């Protein structure tokens, strides 16, 4: 089977190596050789790994997509302007598509799947979520009959590395981020990792598959990890928690239909929970289902070879389907309704630096009271230069009440600095 590769960077060149090393084994299992027939890149002059046959290179993805001998397109170009058009053109030309493009898929998955259905081809994207961890196929096939209630993932390796270093080394955010950059876990511009948008894209894809409803990145409420301090970890540890950036997709079934909540936020996770033990750049996704109970998928969420392994699994399934004139069943219905912010309840920790003087607690409590926020516990962390650090732990409270109370607390002259609030994951 001749396939066309569009993009040959970290993942693309690993895929070429993998096919070179495992090609005979695959041919034996599949009954057919998989051959990379053309490779499109942006810059023909760029130096490349010796495994890449330069004679296959072209700077025109259109040339690869329109080649009648090529039956499948593997799109590994990333979130560039041409990526969506590349996938659409490949499907329009009757080719199956394998993509790792979480950015494009988190915006256009439902329409691309519909286009694939109409031309009776596949679009597979195992590598778009959690790199080498085989989650998408599990959601699409193994768990198809499950009534899933919740999926909670650590799906961004950069932020998990930063948070792990803060927790284990007791360092501040900037120092942990420099370490991540030094070791290649963070890109030069890590904005989309730190602000939660990368995790939100993955949450949208997971939710679409798990609940069979159209969810795009725009439907995902998100908060990133900026502003988390070493002292937040001290408080967390003292109370038996750690801090993790979670991508959460929940399904509430009602007689009238189903409602979804899809969010990304840093949370206080009990140290005893399996997700708390996911360290450094690893990814994990915790799935809760009606019949199956709790499952956890764990592994390397990025890196050339692990990601290429996920891509290769897709290539093999797509190749098998092409030869047997079949296609995968993916159901993504058009309409999804989402839980409004007012209906999201959790326990929160709210932390602030206040003047260490009489009457301050009463002023703060008054604000909590006016938003019907009930405090379960309060802790004073330290007093320095007349400023005390307080942390409040609430009972179940509406998210929007926390947001509104935080805005009011910031206005109080006795509050020197309001720190981030965290949801307690339960
Ligand atoms: N890296 C990971 O660990 C990882 C993990 C999970 C998912 N992914 C996903 O996998 C995909 C590929 O990631 P990567 O890390 O391999 O990216 P990368 O190293 O930046 O490689 C991108 C490749 O696309 C080519 N390209 C860009 N624009 C093009 C265009 N208009 N026409 C033809 N080729 C074009 C580039 O050409 P040049 O070589 O000439 O620049 C390069 O070969 C992305 O969607 C990413 O989100 C990556």
Q: Establish if 266 belongs to a structural domain.
A: yes
| 3-class DSSP state of 424 | strand
Backbone angles phi, psi at 163, to 5 degrees: -65, -35
pLDDT at 254: 66
Choose the catalytic residue: 95, 102, 202, 244. Answer: 202
CA 335, 341, 344, 349 dihedral sign is: positive
109, 169: one domain: no
The answer to whether 157 touches 244, Cβ cutoff 8 Å, is no
Task: Find the mean pLDDT for residues 126-142.
Answer: 97
The answer to whether 19 touches 309, Cβ cutoff 8 Å, is no
96, 189: one domain: no
Nearest ligand 1 atom to alpha carbon 131: 6
For residue 181, the number of C-alpha atoms closer than 13 Å in the C-beta half-sphere is 12
Type and span of the H or E element at 214: none
CA distance 64 to 39: 7
275, 208: one domain: yes
Q: Establish if 329 belongs to a structural domain.
A: no
Q: Establish if 279 belongs to a structural domain.
A: yes
CA distance 135 to 115: 23
Tens digits of residue pLDDT in 292-319:
999 999 999 999 999 999 999 999 999 9
Site to substitute for ligand 1 among 4, 5, 6, 10, most atoms within 8 A of C-beta: 10
102, 44: one domain: yes
Q: Establish if 218 belongs to a structural domain.
A: yes
**Residue 115 belongs to domain with CATH number:** 3.40.50.720
Is any ligand 1 atom within 6 A of the Cβ of residue 131?
A: yes
**Residue 295 belongs to domain with CATH number:** 3.30.360.10
**Which residues, 6 or more positions from 97, have their beta carbon under 8 angstroms from its beta carbon?**
72, 73, 74, 75, 87, 90, 91, 112, 116, 121, 122, 123, 124, 318
pLDDT at 382: 74
Q: Model-level pTM greater than 0.85?
A: yes
CA distance 18 to 25: 11
pLDDT at 341: 86
CA distance 293 to 129: 22
CA distance 58 to 64: 8
Type and span of the H or E element at 356: none
The answer to whether 401 touches 371, Cβ cutoff 8 Å, is yes
Give the structural domain span for 389: 341-424
pLDDT at 29: 86
166, 50: one domain: no
406, 376: one domain: yes
Tens digits of residue pLDDT in 5-34:
999 999 999 999 999 999 998 999 889 999
Last residue of a domain, one of 268, 300, 332: 300
126, 78: one domain: yes
Tens digits of residue pLDDT in 196-247:
999 999 999 999 999 999 999 999 999 999 999 999 999 999 999 999 999 9
For residue 255, pLDDT over 60 is answered with no
204, 271: one domain: yes
Q: How many domains would you assign to the chain? A: 3
The answer to whether 208 touches 202, Cβ cutoff 8 Å, is no
Q: Establish if 335 belongs to a structural domain.
A: no
Cα 316 to middle of ligand 1, angstroms: 21
CA distance 401 to 423: 13
Most distant CA atoms of the chain, gap in Å: 80
The answer to whether 150 touches 248, Cβ cutoff 8 Å, is yes
Tens digits of residue pLDDT in 142-180:
999 999 999 999 999 999 999 999 999 999 999 999 999
DSSP 270-297: ETTSGGGG--TTEEEEEEEETTTEEEEE
Nearest ligand 1 atom to alpha carbon 80: 28
Is any ligand 1 atom within 6 A of the Cβ of residue 43?
A: yes
309, 361: one domain: no
Q: Tell me whether strands 148-154 and 375-384 are parallel, antiparallel or unpaired.
A: unpaired
295-331 burial string, b = 16+ CB within 10 Å, else e?
Answer: bebbbbbbbbebbbbbbbbbbbbbbbbbeeeebbebe
CA distance 220 to 197: 9
Q: Establish if 331 belongs to a structural domain.
A: no
Q: Establish if 76 belongs to a structural domain.
A: yes
227, 293: one domain: yes
**Residue 391 belongs to domain with CATH number:** 3.30.70.260
373, 394: one domain: yes
pLDDT at 256: 58
Is any ligand 1 atom within 6 A of the Cβ of residue 38?
A: no
Helix 230-238 / helix 157-169 crossing angle, nearest 10 deg = 70
Active site (annotated) includes residue 202? yes
Last residue of a domain, one of 234, 268, 300: 300
141, 127: one domain: no
CA distance 295 to 133: 13
Q: Establish if 376 belongs to a structural domain.
A: yes
For residue 257, pLDDT over 80 is answered with no
Residue (of 160, 302, 167, 178) closest to 244 by Cα position: 160
pLDDT at 10: 95
């Amino acid at each position: 089977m001749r396939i066309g590769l569009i993009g040959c960077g970290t993942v693309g060149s690993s895929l070429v190596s993998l096919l070179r090393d495992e090609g005979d084994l695959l041919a034996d299992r599949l009954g057919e050789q998989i051959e990379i027939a053309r490779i499109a890149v942006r810059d023909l002059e760029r130096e490349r790994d010796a495994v890449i046959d330069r004679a296959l290179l072209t700077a025109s993805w259109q040339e690869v997509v329109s080649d009648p001998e090529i039956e499948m397109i593997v799109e590994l170009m990333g979130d560039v302007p041409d990526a969506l058009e590349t996938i659409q053109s490949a499907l329009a030309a009757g080719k199956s598509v394998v993509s790792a493009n979480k950015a494009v898929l988190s915006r256009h998955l439902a329409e691309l799947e519909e286009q694939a259905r109409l031309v009776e081809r596949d679009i597979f994207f195992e590598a778009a979520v959690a790199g080498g961890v085989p989650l998408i196929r599990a959601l699409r096939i193994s768990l198809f009959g499950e009534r899933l209630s919740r999926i909670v993932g650590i799906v961004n390796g950069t932020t998990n590395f930063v948070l792990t270093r803060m927790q284990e080394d007791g360092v501040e955010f900037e120092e942990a981020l420099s370490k991540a950059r030094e070791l290649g876990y963070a890109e030069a511009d890590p904005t989309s990792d730190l602000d939660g948008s990368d995790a939100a894209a993955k949450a949208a894809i997971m939710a679409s598959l798990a609940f069979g409803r159209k969810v795009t990145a725009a439907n995902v409420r998100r908060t990133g990890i900026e502003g988390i301090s070493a002292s937040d970890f001290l408080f967390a540890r003292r109370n038996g928690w750690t801090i993790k950036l979670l991508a959460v997709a929940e399904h509430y079934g009602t007689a009238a239909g189903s409602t979804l909540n899809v969010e990304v936020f840093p949370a206080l996770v009990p140290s005893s929970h399996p997700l708390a033990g996911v360290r450094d750049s690893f990814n994990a996704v915790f799935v809760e289902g009606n019949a199956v109970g709790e499952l956890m998928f764990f592994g390397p969420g990025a890196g050339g070879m692990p990601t290429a392994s996920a891509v290769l699994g897709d290539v093999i399934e797509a190749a098998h389907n092409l030869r047997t004139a079949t296609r995968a069943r993916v159901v993504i219905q058009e309409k999804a309704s989402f839980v409004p912010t007012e209906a999201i309840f959790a326990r929160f920790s709210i932390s602030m630096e206040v003047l260490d003087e009489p009457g301050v607690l009463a002023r703060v409590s008054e604000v909590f009271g006016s938003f019907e926020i009930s405090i379960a516990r309060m802790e004073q962390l330290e007093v320095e230069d007349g400023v005390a650090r307080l942390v409040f732990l609430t009972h179940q409270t509406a998210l929007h009440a926390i947001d509104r109370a935080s805005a009011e607390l910031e206005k109080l002259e006795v509050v020197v600095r309001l720190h981030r609030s965290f949801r307690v994951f339960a």
